[in-house]
Structure 1
């Protein structure tokens, strides 16, 4: 049974990914800042490891607990966080994975990161620009690492059941929404496809509207 370790697992996208991988019968390890608040994760009977990603020692310890063949996914973000995790948390994580020689890593960022920055509207840049720039720095750190990485940039995230209609795109301008549950499905598809290593994908669901 493959082990999936998910950082930022307590809510939002991270929690949706935990639920998906549990349903697919993976062995799931959930990394969370505050295990006392991880009530939904406890109900799923997954292994929980405390990890504040802006604390380098926490990250190093959490990664040291993983099997060498673990597949690691990060859905970490800085929504409502006192300190931004988007860049520094991912930098600590990427460095720790290299140190522990854990190779396979998928990072979820967002549309607008890296070379897709010009596609963001002025309003989006004003509201989310700082976080997107930090995520872009994290992407650059990952791309210059030794990890077998894949990057997924989803559109606007929504709750809801998987529609099965989400698509992935490369090298084209993309706008739109996607359910968190569909992002989870896409991460599994890409992790099971070795041609996704070293690649960056945008993802939206063309059936969803604002």
Structure 2
């Protein structure tokens, strides 16, 4: 691969993805909004670019600046944030990917969007509603873009070390928790898998499910 453009690399799932891909020897271009995490990412071997995902012109120039094989986005905000990147930032990134002629886009979204809304209890949907609505808009924009997409919807995120029990499923009724490092590992597996092309997948830790649902694993 000539390069992977990674948005949301400053922390969380994005940082874990950067660790995995750079360890594999892949060229990672990490988008940061500020200089705060530059040193840590450059120490991993990533190339850091600075830009605000909400600025479409800047994002387009950064994506067009170098050859890329894929774009991965973990962009997202909290319900209490003002202008979140969940839709607007991802829309800018998707549009720039199309213009650059890059074919592959992986979006980390959330259980609770689209048909997976039924998997969450009403209280969670009420709390997360504004964010989930924006994430769903981003998903819809991606699926309509013509790009080869994979949408991964993780459950409740935890920051502990990876457990190795993470699974993907096409069943939208699954909910549970999952560690961020395990989500990152699933994203990187999908990057190398044609089976994940044009799929929307929920991601959970099989030992941290809500209830005892029956579901079929999706093997990448």
**TM-score, reference length from structure 1:** 0.93
Aligned residue in 1 for 2:52: 52
Structure 2, unpaired ranges of 5+: 211-220
Are residues 38 and 103 of structure 1, via their aligned partners in 2, closer, same or farther at CA, if it must alter by over 3 Å? same
Q: Does the Cα contact within 8 Å between 2:115 and 2:172 map onto a contact in 1?
A: no
Q: Does the Cα contact within 8 Å between 1:116 and 1:173 map onto a contact in 2?
A: yes
Aligned residue in 2 for 1:145: 145
- Tell me the number of residue pairs that the alignment of Structure 1 and Structure 2 aligns: 209
Distance in 2 (CA, whole Å) between partners of 1:33 and 1:110 is 22
Distance in 2 (CA, whole Å) between partners of 1:58 and 1:81 is 22
Distance in 1 (CA, whole Å) between partners of 2:148 and 2:74 is 17
More deviation in 46-55 or 78-87? 78-87
More deviation in 80-89 or 174-183? 80-89
For 1:64-102, what per-residue CA distance to the aligned partner results, in whole angstroms no more than 9, with x for missing partners? Answer: 1231x4221000011375421101111111111111111
Aligned residue in 1 for 2:157: 157
| CA drift at 1:209 | 7.0
Aligned residue in 2 for 1:105: 105
Distance in 2 (CA, whole Å) between partners of 1:22 and 1:208 is 29
Distance in 1 (CA, whole Å) between partners of 2:76 and 2:172 is 25
| CA drift at 1:208 | 3.5
Are residues 58 and 82 of structure 1, via their aligned partners in 2, closer, same or farther at CA, if it must alter by over 3 Å? farther
Aligned residue in 1 for 2:70: 71
| Residues 1:123 and 2:118 are matched in the alignment | no
Counterpart of 1:35 in 2: which secondary structure? coil
